[in-house]
Amino acid sequence: MATVKAFRALRPVPEISRDIASVPYDVVSTEEAKVLAEGNPLSFLHVIRPEIDLPEGTNPYVDMVYKTAAENLSRLVTEGLLIEEVKPCMYAYRLLTDGHEQTGLACCCSVDEYNRDIIRKHEHTRKEKEDDRLRHMLTLSAHAGPVLMTYRKNRKVESFIEKNTLEEPLYDFVAQDGIQHILWRIEETEEIVKAFKEVPFLYIADGHHRAAGASRVKEEIQKRNPHTRGDEEFNFFLVVLFSSDQLKILPYNRWISDLKGMNNEGFLRKVNEEYELTESSSAQPSKKGQVCMYLGKKWYSLTLRHPEGAKEKHPVASLDLSIFQRYLLEPVLGIDDQRKDDRIDFIGGESSTDKLARRADKEGGVAFSFFPVSVEDLLAVADAHMIMPPKSTWFSPKLRSGLLIHPF
């Protein structure tokens, strides 16, 4: 069974919610964050990407960066721009974009349940990124950005969330990227806490390093003070939970910088040994099992010549990205480990195929786009305690940081 908990959020006063709210720290580079925050001293990017306020070229992992993050957060509080709730609450959080709507529950979840795998994972984390989140959280004494999580559809949970979206919202604004964000405060939470007791598992969709960082925060604080009670705020971390049938996953596509010494014609011949190639007017596959490839200013559709040989019941091996690894990346391009090979770059999001083509036109190489992984595939991998191929999923739309902060 899963635990959800109300918390006393630190949040913007409603009039400036749009100005403070920002994209998550890990979807933009320092340069992109600087452009987005330009002319807006309220942007939460000054807290989650504080190197934008330091001299160009500053190492984002030096002490001054974390100190600046804490100072910027403190300034927003001191100036009355961020206020703390009088009592613990939860929040209904709705995102609207291009005909897609999803409504979830913003609350806190248990670090213990993360450690015990009641909260399930599908990605490996990297220690250096965990270290960064650990330092950021400890310096702020807060979880500054939510983890996106999911659960299998539950009628009681959905009914509770829906009935708490009927009143006037706390926030309602359209962000710079055209996504509408609406939040409602929920003060009476006993019913939803009880409903989640019937939910056996929660699943991290996006934010594995934030969750791992929260786990290490608890560990670090308990090292410093072994006489903790277990109900302190650092035992919980900030999440937004959506039913699995509401999530929208886009593909994470690939650009490879070179053809391992082959020219275009030689590369096409090599690919043609395992794949049927046809020139295509589409940059995006229309079904599972199809891959699109951009080479020499042309898009191609790729389908395996002998798909029966690739059929697997294994939840990871059956994924398109795993098949692509076995039949093309390794044998043709010599890329054995996508996490470590510097010839490969990952591009996700709404316009990723346009970015792929521009990259290949400018720098050469070859680009590939994929059919999106399904949420059920992700849950199956997590339930099997396995790991997805690197950069398998791009969740859209993205939650905003700075709307809800969890102090501990």
pLDDT tens, residue by residue, 315-361: 999 999 999 999 999 999 999 999 899 999 999 988 899 999 999 99
Length of the chain: 408
Return the domain boundaries, the chain.
4-248+396-407, 250-394
* CA nearest to 242, candidates 172, 187, 162: 162
Q: Could you tell me the two tokens for 42?
A: 């309220």
> Where are the extended beta strands (E) located within 338-401?
344-348, 366-370, 393-395
Taking only the tens place, the pLDDT of each residue in 31-84 is 999 999 999 999 999 999 999 999 999 999 999 999 999 999 999 999 999 999
Looking at residue 313, its pLDDT comes to 79
Query: Is the per-residue pLDDT at 85 higher than 90?
Result: yes
Tokens for 46?
A: 């000054």
Q: Which two structure tokens, joined as six digits, stand for 187?
A: 């003060």
Q: What is the pLDDT of residues 209-260, one digit of tens each?
A: 999 999 999 999 999 998 999 999 999 999 999 999 999 999 999 999 999 9
* CA separation for the pair 384, 258 (Å, rounded): 35
What pLDDT is recorded for position 309? 59
Mean pLDDT of the chain: 96
pTM of the model: 0.93
Tokens of 273: 């040994």
Helix (H) or strand (E) holding 171: strand 171-174
Token pair recorded at residue 148:
């996106």
Q: What CATH number does domain 250-394 carry, 1.10.10, 2.60.120, 3.30.1760, 2.40.128?
A: 3.30.1760
Which pLDDT band holds residue 306 (cuts at 50, 70, 90)? confident
User: In whole angstroms, what separates CA 145 from the centre of its chain?
Assistant: 11
Q: How many CB atoms lie within 10 A of CB 335?
A: 18
- 374 φψ region: left (φ > 0), alpha (ψ -120 to 50), beta (else): beta
Q: What is the pLDDT of residue 311?
A: 72
Q: What integer pLDDT is reported at residue 349 of this predicted model?
A: 86
Q: Is 310 a residue whose pLDDT tops 70?
A: no
Q: How many CA atoms lie within 13 A of 378 on its CB side?
A: 30
- Hey, which residues does 254 pair with through a beta bridge? 346, 368
